[in-house]
Structure 1
């Protein structure tokens, strides 16, 4: 009996000091109470973020351009709709084509001037293409379309095109300067050529030769 008494005394000395009895505690909440939202989030697990990172960060483009396109994919560049979402009140229209509202996808993909630039790209590479609804979807379908070893300039083209459109939009907005569509096409072609030469993506020495070489890739 002595051993039993010692065991009971030891057990009694280690009982919790509170008078409340044992109870279940939900570890996913700080207050210990069960919560449906926390239970659902635990079952669902972390939601993967789907992002066309290769088409943004693996392309050999100027870093500021990659950062701009990264921001555009997240729909965070300061277009009319995003500015209005911040409480600013102004006329929301596409300044480069003077119609519609200025959304990221409209400005960089579906605006009339943007469409002409995209058409130039498709003609230069000798293909037909229907642009998807969003910038993200466009970049998802764009990466290495010609194969791993012959798509370097192709991968660079959308970043260069979007950058030229954004610069033109800002010139019209802040400097009251406007390029014709021919000037815009020339600016895009020249930038793509210069960037391709800087990164060693082409051996062409002149712009016409460079544009002709795209059909051979």
Structure 2
């Protein structure tokens, strides 16, 4: 990527590679003559400068072996293209394509490297929050809709539950499990109620966990946001664990079991170093 992002304006040719740099009308000879360059030793390709190559046409002697018809055609094209090249006493100038100024910046290179990539909007809320790695990984999968819930199992023709194992009212998707499920909404209500944050409880109209998470954090004060992120990760994690217990162990959905698990995990996370949720707690108020 780096090589193709730089073009060169040749001066004296001492700082430009003849065969690989993009110096001939913005192109590289490796691109213009791919068959011809295959007949040149790699050691020479990596070292030959423009100044050396043009001096007494040394580039011709770089070519080894008999030329095929395709190689001969490229050889003649290179010969003609080089006829118009005149070196000067000026230093070679290299330009970064992705900046109007032509100057290279590491930030520009980083952004260029990720052009066309798929962005993951909630990455900061997820990866920068305090939580065990396994919980973050679960939510990463959940947000990307690649947890093995009934909807995914059905698409692959695998055995699956007909309805959500927690509410038994709607089809199971991971988005439903964490937001619109009646059972899950009860869990969120119990989590947020002691904190005076009942406005954050997901509504039945919520269809996307990541969107609800984003809107919920924005409603909180700035100093509360890190704590909210950790709290939401914890809430989603205990809901998911209870769902798995219902599916694989035959456990009956129990709000009290989830809340007990939440209290236990909250205590353990605190012992492990979770402190971000302290701004959420007012005087005399406890999380659960």
Structure 1 residue ranges, 4+ long, deviating more than 6 angstroms after superposition? none
Who is 1:42 aligned against?
none
Long gaps (5+) in structure 2: 1-74, 79-114
2:169 equivalent to 1:99: yes
For the aligned residue pairs, the C-alpha RMSD in angstroms reads 3.2
Who is 1:129 aligned against?
200
2:124 to 54, 58, 69: 54
2:136 equivalent to 1:63: no
Who is 2:32 aligned against?
none
CA distance in 1, matches of 2:209, 2:243: 17
Who is 1:159 aligned against?
233
The normalised TM-score by structure 2 is 0.52
Rg comparison, structure with higher value: 2
Q: List aligned pairs for 1:24-43, cutoff 5 A.
A: none
Larger deviation: 120-129 or 53-62?
120-129
Shift of the alpha carbon at 1:135?
1.1
2:241 equivalent to 1:170: no
Shift of the alpha carbon at 1:68?
0.2
The normalised TM-score by structure 1 is 0.67
Contact between 1:156 and 1:192, CA under 8 Å: does it hold in 2? no
SS of equivalent residue, structure 2 residue 200: coil
2:228 equivalent to 1:141: no
Long gaps (5+) in structure 1: 1-12, 17-44
Shift of the alpha carbon at 1:48?
5.5
Shift of the alpha carbon at 1:91?
4.0
Contact between 1:109 and 1:115, CA under 8 Å: does it hold in 2? yes
Contact between 2:226 and 2:276, CA under 8 Å: does it hold in 1? no
